[in-house]
Structure 1
Amino acid sequence: MLRNYLKIAWRNLLKNKTFSSINIFGLAIGLSCFILITLYVVDELSYERFYPNAARTYRVDSDIRFGGTDLNLAVCSDPFGATLKKDYPEVEQYVRFYASDGRKFIKRGTETIIENRVAHVDSTYFDVFPRPILAGNPKTALDEPNTVAISESAAQKYFGTTDATGKTLEVGINEKTIYKVTAVYADMPSNSHFHFDFLFSMDNVTDYNYGNFLSHNFHTYIRLREDADPRALEKKFPDLINRYVLPQAQGFMEIKSMADFEKSGNKLSYSLIPTTDIHLKSDRLVELDVNGNMQYVSVFGIVALFLLLIACINFMNLSTARSANRAKEVGIRKVLGTERQTLIGQFMAESTLTSYLAFAFALGLVALALPYFNELAAKTFSITMLFSPRYLPFLLLFPLAVGFLAGYYPAFFLSSFRPIEVLKGKLNTSAAKSNFRNALVTFQFAISLLLIISTVIVYKQLNYIQSKNLGFDKDQVLIINATSGLEDNKEAFKNEIKQLTGVKGACYAGYLPVDNSSRSDNTFSKYAVMDAKSGFNMQIWNIDHDYIPTLGMEMAKGRNFSRSYGADSSGIIINETAAKILGYPDPIGKKLYTSDGNSSTQTIAYTIVGVVKNFNYQSLRENVGPLAMRLGFNRWETAFKVNMSEAPNLIAQIESKWKQMAPAMPFKYQFLDEAFDEMYRAEQRIGKVALTFAFLTILIACLGLFGLVTYMTEQRTKEIGIRKVLGASVAGITALLAKDFLKLVLIAILIASPLAWYFMSKWLANFAFRINIQWWMFVGAGVLAVLIAFLTIGWQSMRAALANPIKSLRSE
């Protein structure tokens, strides 16, 4: 029976090549999009789940509000983990990451390489985050100072083999340290929220005052016992704060209790986030890597389902559009004794065969689209992944499910024809069935319009970000990376490059107004003795005399640092937000007090010499917070203001000077506007994905509309013939047929517009600086949809209107 079904199905597909091709093509587009997005969503949801105890592993996060400034941190104080393990039996183990260095200089032969995927970790690392070990003992690998565990890729890179235990690495520039390799571990998977190639012993972090509960610089992870409740543990954190944090806070500020601290509008709290949630649900300061976004994953998943649903709707409409051609076939079969169940089986076999053919075509489209999709989504998927045991059941059963979903309605609709009526040329075209098909087309266009409007708003917001006055000049600024590697030649390099034609200014730029640049926070007060009301958190940057003019910042009051004023070594420049917090009508000459580094007991007084106009030093998702700048040359990077027309020649000259002064150091550079764009890479991806899917959705929706127009013109063939005989014009008949369908598109506009406004308003709420949603965005999308629909309807309507009426009326 099944063989017979498939044979008849194949013959019907060949008999109606045009309809079959459109059906298969439309379904294949929907299936290929669904496959690609499913790969993305499954990968995003899989982060950290490969660790055996991932469900019991949590990171300690900190939330601090002091003086009206909020800090939501992915780090906590260095003794927090050890204290939890000591005082709370539900904590089984902990490990800390110290990644403040950000990068290290590692020597390979005569060459020095800048490695960014580095961190100092506790010896318990492999206990909390076990990895397959290729060489060495993970239990003792990091027990001693001057030891390092490296990844398989790093071992191949530096030693040409994974058997690297006992070998040494020379790390550093001015102060070199020899590290012994004690373990080689398998590369960290891509679906992890951190990717380190070098894990150095925590014992080598010597520039930190340990035991300070008030300084937050360590990523701390804890593993709970199997019966432990993380929420119950969180409720014990206030007690920990009172016992350990409060006494240290009382050492440098007047505060009686944490209740007094909170009454002043301040806050200090700690929370636990599962490691499996970090990638998609955490967007805090000092994340170990750029995380994803659960909102975007949810949107992609919904879009995938909508595309698949739209493709199935398209299949239904095209199948029912052929009902007039299949009606007599159904009537004759029923007269000859064929049962309805058999007819349903026949039509389901046709839809399933179409689904498998479309799925095969979709796999080809996926193979062609994967390179583009990988670039768009920052992934490394391959077509072979789909044929792994993980996805093979999906490959076999998914087309069957789609065939059933897409073929269910057409099968029951076509098999319901009454033989007497269809053999007389009468079809059951009830209003209910017409309304159902109209609803499907309206749904398709509503989704298409939703995507079009969303795409327009995303691109307008990104354009606003690019063109907004940020308070500094991000264009024409060339950043030379790792200039600290020049050792004693740093100043000479900067001065020589300043003399080149086309260079307008130069400064040390260890701190830059973009994400992933250096950040330092400290507590400040306008009184020597701080209390809960006078203190506030503020970023503090070390800059040189040329930083502000080179980056095009403007002074609101006072002056920039000057080499003519020796007292500027104890001077400070604040931004307008900090000046507002201080509340002085004129803050110039006033004092600011802060603690000395990590000790929190030594107080330093700074004199305010200037107020710089606010500039966006973080993403435009955030308001401009308080910021202070002091003289202290952070020489990690050097920035040059350059004439872009001479940039290629300048870069060649700068590289030549670099190689003369640091022949063993790699030469790396970037432009500040490129670093700025990196902050909005996720939004740019969303915009491109939305544009692509909007186009594909419109394409599939037009195929569905084409099917409905074809169906309706077939039903009204005799009516059109009579109208033509009675003198109706081609334009009049075309308008008659198009009118009803354009109504559906207008209804879709009315449905999609408020939905688009709601969802995009929520998306824009993520930005502190954003555009206003304007009426023309909806009107423009609506006009585009009407135009596309009219072109689709008009072609088929004109074809029906131009048909010879004799052919349709000769049987009357």
Structure 2
Amino acid sequence: MFKNYLKTAWRSLTKSAIFSFINVFGLTIGFTSFLLIALYVFDEFTFDAFHKNTNNIYRVVADETTPEGKETKSAGAGYQISQKAVADLPEIKDAARFITFGRLNVSNAENTNVFYEDFTVANPGFLTVFDFKLLQGDRHTALTQPHAVIVTEETAQKLFNTTDVVGKVVKIDRDSLPYKITGVLKNFPANSHIAFNLLFSESSIDGESFKNFINSDWTSGEFSTYLLLSDKADAKKVAAKINALVSANANAESSDKSSYILQPLKAVHFYSNDIEGSANKGNITYMYVFSVIALFILLIACINYMNLTTAGFAKRAKEIAVRKVAGASKQMLVKQFLTEAFLLTAIALVLALLLVEILLPFFNTFTEKQLTLGFHTDYRIWLGIVAAVVVVALLSGSYPALFQARLKPLQLLKSKINIGKGNLSLRKSLVVFQFALSIIMIIATTIVYLQIQYVNTKDMGFNKEQLLVVDINSGKVRNKAATIKNEFSKLAQVKEVTVSSRVPGEWKVIPKIKVKNEKIQSVEGEDMYFLGVDDQFLKTYQISLAKGRNFLRGSIADSSTVIINETAAKELGITEPKEQLIEMPGDEPFTARVIGIVKDFNFQSLREPLAPMILGYQNNPVQAIDYFTARVNTKDVSKTLAAMNDMLHTVDQNHLFEYHFLDKQWDLFYREDHIRETIFMIVSMLTILIACLGLFGLTTYEAAQRIKEIGIRKVLGASVSSIVILLSKSFLKLVGIAAILAFPIAWLAMHKWLQEFAYRIHVQWWVFVLAGLTAAAIAFVTIGLQAVKAAMANPVKSLRSE
């Protein structure tokens, strides 16, 4: 019987080739969109979930509150917390601890492959707490011995052109002794918030100063720390015991109230936006939005199937009537029509899987993921696909099947079929839903685009164009910075050159210091960002000096002076830079004279409000210079880069030339927004496309139902345009209702999204009008094509059967 159903279904689909093609096309697009978004969302929701003990691993997070009530959280802890907690608290089975000391020059023994990498050291617990796959080596001993290092397979290939490297040595420029490779790790998954290329054993740091530091370090916050708890351990109770341990052993020198909390490993990706030092921060709201969008696209494809199948009832009415007269039961007809739905859904799924296979490489490049769909894909994804196919087939096929099966033969033979009456019928309600979603997506895409354009063109208080930033990666280059800067400035394509400790748009951490006005009593002072700069910084970055003076070239006296921005001046109560003294308490207390006030400039993402900034002269006790920045003519930039590289090598032959253009670095702040903008744009286009297919189906059905009415109107003298308007106006009303429903939803959603930015556009009324008119125009074209065809048909053909 099933074989017969299948043959009949195939014959029916091929007989109505146009409708079948539209149905398959709509479902294929729906499945493809659903699969791609589902893979992306699944990857996000399984961040860090591949470890065997994921549910028992917690990150130690420091929570500090200043006397003024300001709360800050940071992803770091003191050395002794992980060291003593494991020994003293039975609930803690193991601890992973690592710290990065900066970057260093790495090479193989022959110096044939040289590059820069972070110098990250970890304790042996790193490999026993986490389950990162070790391709070679023993995870229990790989990080125990001094001068041991483990590398990823990518780094092994980079150094030795092979992954069989255990026992080989790596040289670094901060140590005269080579490091022996004791393990090779599989490249880190893209959905891991922890990633590195080399990991050195903690026991390699054997200097007395480091030993003295860690022996009493309870509160530094320098070590990323993860604890593996026993199955029955209560994380909150363990955190309370850790806080008690710290209180009993740490020296309470700061007036800040501090405590430690344990953050579940699974929560790190989505719930770390307020935690400093966190990488790969995700946004769970967008995952819910994308999930809903994926389901909606699939639902719209199902709605189209219903509408198009309904539109084809008139053509199949007599076939169904004959089947009923011949003795076909209601159950048999339902099975037949559901078989057609399953067959069509299966065809669409196969085509969608092929499309996903083709599109995945581009999608991965675009989203910076490593998504795959194959035999090794997580079984939960395949279960989801099977469930989606069953649901889609039942959802799209059940309504037409049940309706057609219950119709009486007489109705079918006379082709008198009424499906819902009035403008609020099920079919028309579904069209309203389709276009409401389409309009929401158009509005979202437009507002995201306008906001990205705004942040790209906003005056940030400095000019980021044509700024070439060159890293300083060695002491030799740093000591000869003045000479190199002078040589850079002699290049024809270089306009200005400056040195600084950090740069606006910095991807590294810009340090914060406590600052207070001597004349205003404050216990701790205000947190302010700090940059060490030279006398050319303001000129090179084109930052305006509002009051006072700039640093003087070569001035020893200016080593104890600072320039502050307007926000810092306001917080410190300074209106004029009259050599006023400010204090910077800390490990190295520093008193400085304020000699100038610069106009505020953005040095962080425009999601962040303007913050107070202190500019210290390059010879300051806070932070050494780390970058050259040159304003260059980009006409012949390759020649300029080659000349700069040669100049650096005259000072340090082992120095690797690293550079980037600052405007490109700033673009990275909004990388996720660009991805969302593109996703919204593509989804809105697909949503409109599929919605138009549904509208086409309704128009076809409407024309079929009113074919005799149209014939009579034409015989009585009705024009083509009047018939087109007659068939179009009811559907355009549906688009209008969809717009009324979509506008408030879109406004609320986009208003909430814009709140993420300290600097943002105001949502304009014309965006909503544009979205509504766009949807209406597309709908009118879709309806018009079918309406014109119906209006131009020969009325004799439609009337002669009566």
| TM-score, normalization by structure 1 | 0.91
- Following the alignment from structure 1 to structure 2, what is the Cα–Cα distance between the partners of residues 476 and 761? 34
- Residue by residue over 1:425-462, the C-alpha shift from the partner in whole angstroms, topping out at 9 and shown as x without a partner, is 32233417961000110100111111110000101110
Match of 1:610 among 596, 599, 605: 596
Greater shift after overlay, 218-227 or 268-277?
A: 268-277
Equivalent residue number for residue 258 of structure 1? none
Shift of 1:397: 5.3
> Which residue is equivalent to 1:521?
512
In structure 1, C-alpha distance between the alignment counterparts of 2:451 and 2:188, rounded to whole Å: 35
Q: Percent identity of the aligned residues?
A: 38
| Offset from partner CA, 1:518-551 (integer Å, 9 cap, x none) | 422233333599864x522222222233223212
List alignment gaps of at least 5 residues for structure 2: none
Query: Equivalences for 1:678-697 in 2 at 5 Å?
Result: 678-697=668-687
Q: What residue is the counterpart of 2:147 in the other structure?
A: 146
Compared with structure 1, are the counterparts of its residues 406 and 346 closer, same or farther at alpha carbon in structure 2 (3 Å cutoff)? Answer: same
Residue number in structure 1 paired with 2:48: 48
Residue 171 of structure 2: aligned partner: 170
Where does the alignment leave 5 or more consecutive residues of structure 1 unmatched?
250-254, 256-260, 262-266
Q: Distance in 2 between matches of 1:369 and 1:131?
A: 29
How far the C-alpha of 1:377 sits from its partner, in A, is 1.2
Determine the structure 2 residue equivalent to 1:738: 728
Which of 752, 767, 772 is equivalent to 2:742?
752
For residue 619 of structure 1, report the CA deviation from its aligned partner. 1.2
Task: Please report how far the alpha carbon of residue 86 of structure 1 lies from its aligned counterpart in structure 2 after TM superposition.
Answer: 5.0
Supply the distance in 1 between the matched residues of 2:569 and 2:219 (Cα, whole angstroms). Answer: 25
User: Which residue pairs with 1:16 in the alignment?
Assistant: 16
Distance 1:80 1:716, change over 3 A: same
How far residue 112 of structure 1 moved from its aligned partner, in angstroms, is 6.0
Matched, 1:224 2:229: yes
Residue 473 (structure 1) shift: 1.4
Q: What are the equivalent positions in structure 2 for 1:192-231 lying under 5 Å apart? A: 192-204=192-204, 209-210=213-214, 211-231=216-236
User: CA distance change for structure 1 residues 476 and 177 in 2, over 3 Å: closer, same or farther?
Assistant: farther
Deviation at 1:659, TM superposition (A): 5.4
Report the alpha carbon displacement of residue 151 of structure 1 after superposing the two structures with TM: 2.3
CA distance in 2, matches of 1:215, 1:541: 22
- Give the counterpart of 1:543 among 509, 515, 533: 533
Question: Structure 1 residue 308: deviation in Å?
Answer: 0.6
The CA deviation at 1:100 is 4.5
Shift in Å, 1:645: 3.0
Check 1:542–1:123 CA distance in 2 against 1; reply closer, same or farther (3 A cut).
farther
Matches for 1:506-655 after TM superposition, within 5 Å: 506-527=497-518, 532=523, 534-563=524-553, 565-596=555-586, 600=587, 603-632=589-618, 634-655=624-645
Q: Secondary structure at the match of 1:692?
A: helix
Question: Which position in structure 1 is the counterpart of 2:6?
Answer: 6
Return the offset for 1:245.
5.4
Aligned to 1:143, the other structure's residue is in SS state: coil
Q: Would the alpha carbon gap of residues 561 and 96 (structure 1) be closer, same or farther in structure 2, given more than 3 Å must change?
A: farther
1 CA distance for matches of 2:424 and 2:320? Answer: 20
Q: Secondary structure at the match of 2:193?
A: coil
The letter of the residue matching 2:661 is F
Distance across 1 between alignment mates of 2:569 and 2:377: 61
Question: Secondary structure, in 3 states, of the residue corresponding to 1:280?
Answer: coil
> What residue is the counterpart of 2:783 in the other structure?
793
Say if 1:65 and 1:35 are closer, same or farther in 2 by CA, change over 3 A. same
CA offset digits 1:611-665 (Å, max 9, x no partner): 2222221111111222222233644332111123343442343344455555554
Contact preservation (8 Å) 1:234, 1:270: yes
**Cα distance in structure 2, aligned partners of 1:775 and 1:427:** 43
Residues in 1 aligned to 2:384 and 2:715: alpha-carbon distance in whole angstroms: 56
The answer to which of 802-811 and 360-369 deviates more is 360-369
User: How many correspondences in the alignment?
Assistant: 791
Match of 2:181 in 1: 181
Structure 2 Cα separation of the partners of residues 801 and 529 of structure 1: 84
Q: Which amino acid aligns with 1:9?
A: A
TM-aligned CA distance change 1:397 to 1:564, over 3 Å:
closer
Structure 1 CA distance, aligned partners of 2:629 and 2:340?
Answer: 66
CA distance in 1, matches of 2:636, 2:134: 50
Partners of 1:214 and 1:529 lie apart in 2 by 29
Q: Tell me, yes or no, if structure 1 residue 706 matches structure 2 residue 693.
A: no
CA distance in 1, matches of 2:469, 2:71: 30
Q: Are the equivalent residues in 1 in contact too, given 2:32–2:356 (CA < 8 A)?
A: yes
What SS does the corresponding residue of 1:58 show, helix, strand or coil?
A: strand
CA contact (8 A) 1:80 1:213 kept: yes
Q: Distance in 2 between matches of 1:730 and 1:281?
A: 60
Contact 2:566 2:598 in 1 (8 A): yes
8 Å Cα contact 1:69/1:625 also seen in 2: no
Q: CA deviation at 1:764?
A: 0.8
1:415 corresponds to: 405
Return the offset for 1:102. 4.8
Give yes or no for contact 1:386–1:392 (8 Å, CA) kept in 2.
no
Matched residues in 2 for 1:120 and 1:649: separation? 38
SS in structure 1 of the partner of residue 417 of structure 2: coil
CA apart distance, 1:732: 0.9
- Of 764, 768, 775, the residue aligned with 1:778 is 768
Q: Give the match's secondary structure for 1:217.
A: coil
CA distance in 1, matches of 2:505, 2:26: 44
Contact 2:117 2:198 in 1 (8 A): no
Q: Does 1:460 align with 2:450?
A: yes
Q: Give the drift of 1:729.
A: 1.3
1:219 CA displacement: 1.6
Contact residue 563 and residue 597 of structure 2 kept, 8 A: yes
Give the letter aligned to residue 221 of structure 1.
Y
- Tell me which amino acid in the other structure corresponds to 2:598: V
State which drifts further: 787-796 or 517-526: 517-526
Contact 1:68 1:536 in 2 (8 A): no
Give the drift of 1:68: 7.2
Q: Distance in 2 between matches of 1:485 and 1:418?
A: 91
2:495 to 487, 504, 521: 504
What is the CA deviation profile of residues 58-77 of structure 1, one whole-angstrom value per residue up to 9, with x for unaligned ones? Answer: 11223445457654322233
Instruction: Summarize deviations over 1:640-698 as a string: whole Å, max 9, x none.
Output: 11123343442343344455555554433211000000111000000001101110110
Distance 1:96 1:651, change over 3 A: same
Change (3 A) 1:467 1:668: same
Contact 1:559 1:609 in 2 (8 A): yes
Secondary structure of the 1:347 match is helix
How far the C-alpha of 1:734 sits from its partner, in A, is 0.7
Partner of 1:252: none
Partner of 1:717: 707
Alignment of 1:11-410 (within 5 A): 11-66=11-66, 71-85=72-86, 88-102=89-103, 104-106=105-107, 109-111=110-112, 113-116=114-117, 118-172=119-173, 176=176, 178-204=178-204, 209-210=213-214, 211-235=216-240, 239=244, 242-243=247-248, 247-249=252-254, 268-284=258-274, 286-287=276-277, 289-384=279-374, 391-394=381-384, 398-410=388-400
AA paired with 2:17? K
Q: Which residue of 2 aligns with 1:439?
A: 429
Supply the distance in 2 between the matched residues of 1:136 and 1:387 (Cα, whole angstroms).
27
Contact preservation (8 Å) 1:213, 1:248:
no
